[in-house]
Chains A and B, each alone.
Chain A
Amino acid sequence: MATDIHGPVSTVEGPAATPAVRVEGLTRAFDGRPVIDRLDLTLRPGEFTALLGRSGCGKSTLLRVLAGLDRDISGTVLVPKRRAVAFQAPRLMPWKRVWRNVLLGLDGRPDRALAERALNEVGLGHRSGAWPKTLSGGEAQRASLARALVREPDLLLLDEPFGALDALTRIKAQRLVAELWQRRGCAVLLVTHDVDEALLLADRALVMRDGVIAYETPVGLDRPRAVGDPGFGPLRSRLLTELGVDEPAASS
């Protein structure tokens, strides 16, 4: 059972005093076969962490556990009360206009202006009154981000949010996420299978294998980052090796 450790979080946070996420001995089995097997994980407040892994390794299951969507678990899982998820598909309610989608699930009767502030932040203020069916893939994904951010989360969970976008839109969306994270300062867990994406965005990269965090490395590159930066190549090769992809020796 997930437990909340943070009440309403004050704006001033001690650096790494209390973790944003603490997971100890987490196990999640499907039909007796453990997908997550006594996993330990700590995320610090304000830290951007990328979780890498091959498909089927359980990284999305871990994210769903942290989101509170999967509770058939054993072990200790401590997560902030205010957390938000952006999925691979935008998952907007097609029968609600964009701004109503953004406000969905908020307590009380929030104002449309609140939704529009969040939509402006992702550059979508002009589509506030649109039906989701009229949005492009990138716009829908940005609306989904606005819906997550309007909750002012202490933990933002991103489940391959760029996976379904075309290459050009993806670059823009990655930059947007980096900007939003730097402005908001929330802890981010980005689940992805794209090593470059992890190295562009994250402070720390984790590799999940056999149901546990099998490898982790800090990503100490200066921001803003580009794929060609010095130090990028070796990290990339190492992570790919951990993921079971051997690079040809000739490439960097």
Chain B
Amino acid sequence: MPVDHAPPDTSAISNDQPPFALEPVVPSAATRSWRHAVPRWLRRVVGPLLLLLLWQVLSATGVLHRDILASPGTIATAAGELISDGTLGSAMAISLQRVVVGLLFGAVAGVSLALASGLSRLGEDLVDPVVQMLRTVPWVGLIPLFIIWLGIGEAPKVALIALGVAFHLYLNVYAGIRGVDEQLVEAGQSLGLGRWGLIRHVVLPGALPGAMTGLRYSLATAWLALVFGESINADAGIGFLMNQARDFLRTDVIVVCLVVYAFLGLIADAVVRTLERLLLQWRPTFTGR
């Protein structure tokens, strides 16, 4: 394509009269200052507060009957009573214990199976098809079987949590092991690492991000399994409190229990975040500092 190298002809344009009008670029601060005067967190808090206020008003005026949903004030009072007489504390301790025990059993099972099938082809052929097959069974549907097998004590609840945890950890640890960069494995070989050295220094650290993702999913599943497990035949724990409240139409107590479940989930998430910050600080994509 021919290119004309001559500059544009500007002789007709005189120096003191530009051929177009200029307009000022107004600094944005001048036009939107009122919105920035309110801090962002305050703006974000306004919505939930308004909702709470609406709820209280609807309850006070009788539009929202207390058998449908108790008012925020009643709920706060109920929470205070449950905390002061120790009911909530002991129920939380029991529920927490179920999650921790289930998590431990599930983690041991899920991680061992993932190591077996991630680290050896024989293990993969033996373990993976079985796990993938069982994974398609909805684990909540196993509750009746667990009750027949294990009774109605702690065992079926812990087993349900362990099952949900094990599948998530298995899938993520296995994928983490198989996703380790082949180039790094080769570099390790060239440095004289043997099979166990490679597993210890290259494969397992490389699978750690996947394992942490698995842990996060499995914690979410653990809480879900806890709620399912405790809603049947529990004689202690938060689920038991909820069942009791249902029988007496105490919607305030039910909401308190829901808030506690959410709170415990939040704590679990914080624990995983802290673990990630400690264990994964080497990651290039790490931004959680």
Contacts and interface: CB of A to CB of B under 8 A. Distances in A.
Interface of A: 67-69, 84-85, 87, 89, 91, 93-96, 104-106, 131-133, 147, 151
Interface string B250-289: 0000000000000000000000000000000111100000
B282 A104 contact: no
B201 A96 contact: yes
Interface in B172-197: 183-184, 186-193, 197
Contact of A93 (B186, B202, B281): B202
A133 B283 contact: yes
B189 A69 contact: yes
B193 A104 contact: yes
B188 A95 contact: no
A93 B205 contact: yes
Contacts of B184: 91, 93
A104 B190 contact: no
B69 interface: no
B192 A132 contact: no
Given A105-B192, A105-B193, A105-B197, A95 B187 contact: no
Contact of A67 (B190, B281, B282): B190
A104 to B, nearest CB: 5
B282 A69 contact: no
22 contacts: A67-B190, A68-B189, A68-B190, A69-B189, A84-B191, A87-B183, A91-B187, A93-B201, A93-B202, A93-B205, A94-B284, A95-B206, A95-B208, A95-B282, A104-B188, A104-B191, A105-B191, A105-B193, A105-B201, A131-B281, A133-B282, A147-B191
Given A69-B189, A84-B190, A105-B201, 13 more contacts: A68-B189, A84-B191, A91-B183, A93-B187, A93-B205, A95-B208, A96-B201, A96-B282, A104-B201, A105-B188, A105-B191, A131-B281, A133-B283
Nearest to B193: A105
A95 B279 CA distance: 9
* Most-contacted residue by chain B among A68, A96, A104 (CB, 10 A): A104
* Most-contacted residue by chain A among B183, B191, B193 (CB, 10 A): B191
B49 to A, nearest CB: 42
Contacts of A95: 205-206, 208, 282
A96 B206 CA distance: 11
A70 B188 CA distance: 14
Contacts of A132: 282
A106 B208 CA distance: 24
A106 B206 CA distance: 20
* Most-contacted residue by chain A among B186, B197, B208, B281 (CB, 10 A): B186
B189 to A, nearest CB: 6
A69 B186 contact: yes
Contacts of A151: 191-192
Nearest to B208: A95
Interface string B208-232: 1000000000000000000000000
Interface in B118-169: none
A69 B190 contact: yes
Contacts of B281: 131
A95 B206 CA distance: 8
Nearest to B286: A133
Q: What 3 pairs between A and B have smallest CB-CB spacing?
A: A105-B191, A91-B187, A95-B205
* Most-contacted residue by chain B among A94, A96, A106 (CB, 10 A): A94
Contacts of B208: 95
Nearest to B204: A95
Contacts of A84: 190-191
Given A95-B205, A105-B197, A133 B190 contact: no
B277 to A, nearest CB: 14
A115 to B, nearest CB: 13
B183 A89 contact: yes
